[in-house]
């Protein structure tokens, strides 16, 4: 049987967080990769989920990529038969930089920038 629905990525970064200290579970999930390979092509890509109260359906959810063809590949192929299958595609720039002490990820649409930094090997409470 040939493999037809696949993806691989380079430089992937996951950010999971809560928008409130009282939150019982994370309510923000961002996954981006510097480069994602699919049968539809290769481009930076990712996924965003944000349900304001964690128990609610997401108010912001979608696949993110500067290449709408690559972004549109994920739902019907990688996530077929799941609640993520019908998520929209947001055209946005994604940049992921690797460095010795950490990984920096950012993506933004033309109107809403989002920046996050993940520090590998250091305290989450350390400055900068």
What are the boundaries of each domain within the chain?
8-119
Q: What is the pLDDT of residue 54?
A: 62
> pTM of the entire structure?
0.70
98 confidence band (pLDDT: 50, 70, 90): low
Burial of 6 (0-12, 13-18, 19+ CB in 10 A): exposed
Q: Which residues contact 44 (CB under 8 A, 6 or more apart)?
A: 32, 33, 34, 35, 36, 65, 66, 93, 94, 95, 96, 107
> Residue 106 and residue 18: Cα distance in Å, rounded?
18
Q: What is the pLDDT of residue 86?
A: 92
- Contact yes or no for 98/120 (Cβ under 8 A): no
Q: What is the pLDDT of residue 126?
A: 39
Average pLDDT over every residue of 90-111: 60
109 confidence band (pLDDT: 50, 70, 90): very low
Q: Is the pLDDT higher at 46 or at 126?
A: 46
What pLDDT digit, counting tens, does each position of 30-86 carry?
888 989 999 999 999 999 888 777 667 777 889 999 999 999 999 999 999 998 899
Q: What is the pLDDT of residue 99?
A: 58
> Residue 91 and residue 102: Cα distance in Å, rounded?
26
Q: What percent of the chain shows pLDDT beyond 90?
A: 30
């Amino acid at each position: 049987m040939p493999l037809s629905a696949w993806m691989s990525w380079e430089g992937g970064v996951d950010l999971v967080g809560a928008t409130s200290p009282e939150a019982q579970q994370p309510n923000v999930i961002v996954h981006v990769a510097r480069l994602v390979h699919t049968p539809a092509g290769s481009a930076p890509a990712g996924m965003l989920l944000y349900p304001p109260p964690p128990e609610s359906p997401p108010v912001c959810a979608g696949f993110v990529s500067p290449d709408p063809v690559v972004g549109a590949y994920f739902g019907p192929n990688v996530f077929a038969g799941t609640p993520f299958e019908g998520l929209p595609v947001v055209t946005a720039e994604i940049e992921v930089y690797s460095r010795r002490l950490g990984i920096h990820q950012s993506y933004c649409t033309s109107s809403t920038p989002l920046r996050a930094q993940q520090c590998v090997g250091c305290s989450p409470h350390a400055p900068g």
